[in-house]
Structure 1
């Protein structure tokens, strides 16, 4: 199913009267923006789903987890590649962040019908944790598969690989981790990725501001300028 079809199906579900949702749609130049707010007894979800010239462009999500914890997520779609940033925060204090890399043909409908899609598979997911006024790498995993629950941990509890190779379903991963994460993906849609392992407090605040305001609609580049090792 295409990303655009996933968006359409989600928005159609949101308009069903039995669901506790508010929804709207606006055209802003080349951007077609659908807005859905869903509130139940457990959590509040606020989505903005954006197409540019009819093509999936980005998704923004704000989620209230309760007890003062919230998250902001920004996802961008470009040439089959899906890049995702998630910031966990309490007020304006960011306590952790996650950066993920997947592909548009690996997205699937959410079985719980709460999100526009979920990751059926992901090439890489990285978690960062706040410590001593910085955000440092905490976990890295490759080749996540929702259906089989397969994954290959590189950095995790009890796991610390500085260099590794992994093959899963025809996709070969080669990774090195030191002062940066260097990942080479071979197979269908090969590419190279190089992400930083530590961010300063000012850089994290810049990411939070980007996700809090509508500058995210213009593209991934402000995130790339901070996350990617150049």
Structure 2
């Protein structure tokens, strides 16, 4: 199913009268913007889904978890690649960060009907934790598969691999971890990824400002400028 079809199906479900949602749609030039706010009394989620000239461009999500803890997610779609940044925060203090990489064809419908899509598979997911006024790499996993629950942890509790190789369903991953996450992907899609393993407090604040304003609509470049190796 195309990303655009996933968006259509989600919005159709969200506008069903039995759902506790508020929704709307607007056109800003080439942008088709759909808003959905859902409150099930346990959590509140707000989505903004953007198509540019009829093509999936980006999705923004804000979720309230309770006890003043919230999360912000921004997902961008470009050339079949899906890039996502997620920030966990209390007020304006960011306590955690996740950056993920997947592909358009690996997105699937959410079985719980709460989200426009979930990752059916992903190439890489990385988690960062705030420590000593910086955001430092805490976990890395490759080749997540929602159906089989397969994954290949590179850094996790009790696991810390400086270098590793892994093959899953015809995709070969080679990764090295030091000051930079160096990932090489081979298969039907060949790609090199180099993300930093530590971010400064100012850089994290820049990401928070990006996700809380509307500059996220303009593209992924501000995120890439922070997380990519310099």
**Same topology, TM > 0.5:** yes
Deviations 1:209-230 (A, max 9, x none): 0000010000000000000103
Structure 1 segments of 4+ aligned residues over 3 angstroms from their partners: none
Aligned Cα RMSD in Å? 0.4
> Does residue 220 of structure 2 align to residue 220 of structure 1?
yes
| Cα displacement string for residues 155-196 of structure 1 (whole angstroms, at most 9, x for unaligned residues) | 000000000000000000000000100000000111000000
TM, length-normalised to structure 1: 1.00
TM superposition score normalised by structure 2: 1.00
Counterpart-to-counterpart distance in 2, 1:151 and 1:13: 31
Q: Report the secondary structure of 1:42's partner residue.
A: coil
Residue-by-residue CA offset, 1:18-56 (whole Å, 9 max, x unaligned): 100000000011110000000012100100000000000
> How far off is 1:129 after superposition?
0.1
1:171 maps to 2:171: yes
Which residue of 2 is the match for residue 128 of structure 1? 128
Matches within 5 A, 1:67-146: 67-146=67-146
Separation of aligned partners in 2, 1:7 and 1:115: 9
Identify unmatched segments of 5+ residues in structure 1: none
Question: Separation in 2 of the partners of 1:153 and 1:117?
Answer: 23
What residue in structure 1 maps to residue 13 of structure 2?
A: 13
In 2, distance between residues paired with 1:204 and 1:29?
Answer: 31
Give a deviation string over 1:62-117, Cα, whole Å, max 9, x none: 00001110000000000000000000000000000000000000000000000000
Map Cα deviations across residues 123-170 of structure 1 (whole Å, 9 max, x no partner).
000000000100000000000000000000000000000000000000
Match of 2:187 in 1: 187
How many residue pairs are counted as aligned between the two chains? 230
Q: Is residue 2:88 matched to residue 1:49?
A: no
Answering whether residue 38 of structure 2 is matched by residue 38 of structure 1, we say yes
